[in-house]
Each structure stands twice: as structure tokens, then as C-alpha cells.
A and B are shown apart, each in its own frame.
Chain A
Amino acid sequence: MSPGPRRIAEPRPARVQSDDHGVPTAVDGRTVGAIRESWLIEDRWWTDRPLRRRYWEVVTTCGCNVVVFRELQERRWYRQR
């Protein structure tokens, strides 16, 4: 059998520091300069493995545009592009 399809933009674990409200303040050691957007995704709630993510699109002080999300089920941060 040929190799299966490979997904693009798989989430990768990220080191994110956040404040008391869960807003990211630093991503992989870089300070967040501005928050551009935030949105919530809830999907597959009808299955055994529901998906709940809080996304943040941020700009770090060095000018990088980064999208990170907090996996609300397992309470971990991921980076995704």
C-alpha cells in the first residue's frame, strides 16, 4: 500500500506563557507585542474525542505573526500555521 496522505499544518507543541485570563504573553521565549484576533473552535462534540480550542493570532515584539491555540481538553498550548 502506498504511503497514506500527509496532513499539512499539523499542530506542534509550543511554550506559551499566559496571564490570569489565559491571554498569551510570550510564545517560545518571544514577548507578545499585540493580539490580532482570538476565536473559539468546538467540534466533534458528538464523538468520544471532542475538539475544543481557543485560538490566538499574535504578533511578537520581533515582528513575527504567530497563531497559537490552547487545547481546552488537555490544557496544552500548540502552535499552528
Chain B
Amino acid sequence: MLRRARPGAPARRTRRADARRRLPRRAGRRAAAPRAGRPAGRTGADALLRDGRRRRGARAPAAKVAGAIDLAPHPVALLRRRAETAALVEPFERLGIATLGALAALPRGAVADRFGRPGLLAHDLARGQDTPLAPRLPGELLREELELPESGSGEQLGRALGLLVDRLLARRERRGRTLRAVVLAARLVEGGTWRERVVFREALADGQRMRMVLGNRLALLPAPAEVLELTVERFGPPHSGDRALLDDGAARRDERLREAVRQARAAAGPDAALRVLEIDPDSRVPERRVVLTPFDPGAR
């Protein structure tokens, strides 16, 4: 629709044009503003949490980053969240330093003189200088269990343990890593459970040595077990292969064998390479004497 130009119209158009010219600059400023509400550190996160709780129901501002200005009105009691600064809260309050802002305003040297290293840390926290938040790494569960229908004890239990160790070391998820700590657990025939945490003196992937260490712990089992369980609690660095100083070709043969087993399993599944393991060779019941278990070239 066309309108007649009026005396004030050109001026209005100019204002609109100015606004349009300014718009990209404003948009640019918006884009540069922080978008995610990631607090600078733990104390900042605590302060944001308190803010969120205070106005329950209201949505927390998404672009807020807790810095010195945001922390300023919060009480020094927030410092109780850190073990290093928890003891300072009471003296601060006694001296009339009620808020983090008041603490941040104090000269750094004076705080250091009066409260030492914890005081400096509290001062840093009050000024929004904190260690960055680090996400927790999800735990990795690697577990093998074996039912013992004959209520295992003694030598039979030792063989079951050997089988568990073999199966744990054969797991693909291990990715060649050594084991640093494991948990040996059992469900007892008489009811109840038993659990023993074992930390190896050095991270290892040698089934024989693991059997030796864990076998000693099995002696602590208070009653016959119906289920035996072995769980990796902590991994060590990747297995170096434990090569001898003078390689006589055996290591190369082992390596080739390991690679052959790996390829066979990749082609035909985990049942491709198995070995016969004696469980109870003197048993009168033939099916209890031996089992087939994953073949581990390193455990020969």
C-alpha cells in the first residue's frame, strides 16, 4: 500500500535504516555472548545450584557463567564445600567477612598473611578462579562368572579359578591391557557371599601369575561356593609382551600364533580356538573331568 509522504516520514525511514544497520552488530554481539551455562569451577557450580534452588520453578538463565560478580552476594559458607577452605568459614564470619564479594575485595597479600595457603585458595575461589569441572569417566565392567554345580572347594575350585582367569584374559574388551586390581567374589552354598579385592604388585596379563596370586586368596573362602566370579576393578597399561632380552624366535612364533588365533576367532567366532582344561581329572563322573575353554596363546 502506498502512502503519501509526510514531512516526518523521511526522518522515520532514516531511523529504521539506522536500526537495520545496527541489527547485524547486535546479532553479532549476541552470537559472541556465552550460550552454555558452564560454570567456571566447582564453587561457581555450587553458587549456580543455590541460585537455581532459590528460584525454584523459574528457569535458570542459560547464558550465565559464574564469575566474581555472580559469586559476590553469596555467603562465605559456600567455602565449606571444599575440604581445604572449610575451616576458614568460621574465622571469616567472626571477622565480619560475610560474603564472597567481601572476601574478594580484600588485598591478596593480607589474606595470605593471615590465612596462608588455604586463605589464598579461598580468595581465588571468591574471585571465580577455580579448577575446571571435569566429567566423571564411566566405569568399565569386565566380569566373568562360573557356576559350580558340584559346590566347589579345594582343588576343583582352583581349576575353576584358572578357567575364570583364562576367560577374563581372552575377553576382547581387554584390548591388550594388563590388569592392576581384580575382585574375586563367590556365592556360598550355605547362603551369603564372599568378596576379596586383590591388587597385584605390578600390572600383569600373565594367567599363570594371576592364578598363583588369586589361588592364595581362595584359601580364605569360608565355605564351599556355588558361583565364583572374577571382576576387573582397574586396568594397567597395555601389555608389553614381556619379550626376552635375546629373542630366539620363540617370541616371533608366539606372536604368529596369537595372530592366527585372532584371525580364526574373527572368522569363525569365539569358539574357533579352544583348549581342553582339566577341571576334576579324578572325578568318577566323566563329564566333570574336562571342559573346553578359550585358548590363550600367552598362557601356555
Contacts and interface: CB of A to CB of B under 8 A. Distances in A.
Chain B binds chain A:
yes
Interface of A: 1-11, 41, 43-44, 47, 51, 53, 80-81
B277 A5 contact: yes
Contact of B163 (A3, A5, A9, A51): A5
A3 B287 contact: no
B188 to A, nearest CB: 15
Interface of B: 143-146, 150-151, 163, 167, 170-171, 270-271, 274, 276-277, 284-294
Given A5-B163, A5-B292, A8-B291, A80 B144 contact: no
Contacts of A47: 151
B18 to A, nearest CB: 70
A5 B276 contact: no
Given A6-B292, A7-B288, A11-B287, 6 more contacts: A2-B144, A2-B170, A3-B271, A5-B292, A8-B292, A9-B290
B63 to A, nearest CB: 47
Nearest to B143: A1
A3 B286 contact: no
User: Interface majority SS on A: helix, strand, loop or mixed?
Assistant: loop
A1 B144 CA distance: 7
Contacts of A4: 146
A41 B146 contact: no
A51 B285 contact: yes
Closest 3 CB pairs of A and B: A5-B291, A6-B292, A9-B286
